[in-house]
Amino acid sequence: MNYEFLYSKDFLIIKLSGTAEVNERLLVKEYLPPHLRQSWKKVIVDLEGLNETEEAYILGVLNTIKKEFQLLGSEVKLCSLKTKLYRYFKENRLDQIFDIKRSVEQAKRSFERKSNGV
């Protein structure tokens, strides 16, 4: 799996692409520390480039990312889930644990609405 970290004004956008492997949730911890030190409050995980195989491995990665950032007081939103992965999240009620939006722009707007008290 590939990780790309993009900084956009108030947001950290993590773009995931490729295929999740067996120990991917452990590997993600190698990529996060430099970005955790900057204490981003608004984190968006963009799954558009991710292959939909091995949902359990993807879930492990997302749980790790969410946990690490939430420990610092950050809010994490997911976006751009492909149909099969979105269906997996709905069937397993993971949409109640993760805040899922259709696109990066929709995720950004949802942060803005929240900060405006809407």
- What tens digit of pLDDT does each residue of 4-37 get? 999 988 899 999 999 998 889 888 988 888 888 7
Range from 35-44, 45-54, 93-102 that averages highest in pLDDT: 93-102
pTM: 0.90
For residue 55, which of 86, 29, 77, 34 has the smallest C-alpha distance?
86
Instruction: Please determine, for residue 92, whether its predicted confidence score (pLDDT) is greater than 80.
Output: yes
Q: List 13's β-bridge partners, or say none.
A: 6, 44
Question: Does residue 1 contact residue 30 with C-beta atoms inside 8 Å?
Answer: no
Instruction: Please determine, for residue 42, whether its predicted confidence score (pLDDT) is greater than 70.
Output: yes
The full set of domain ranges for the chain reads: 2-115
CATH architecture for segment(s) 2-115: 2-Layer Sandwich (3.30)
pLDDT for 116 equals 57
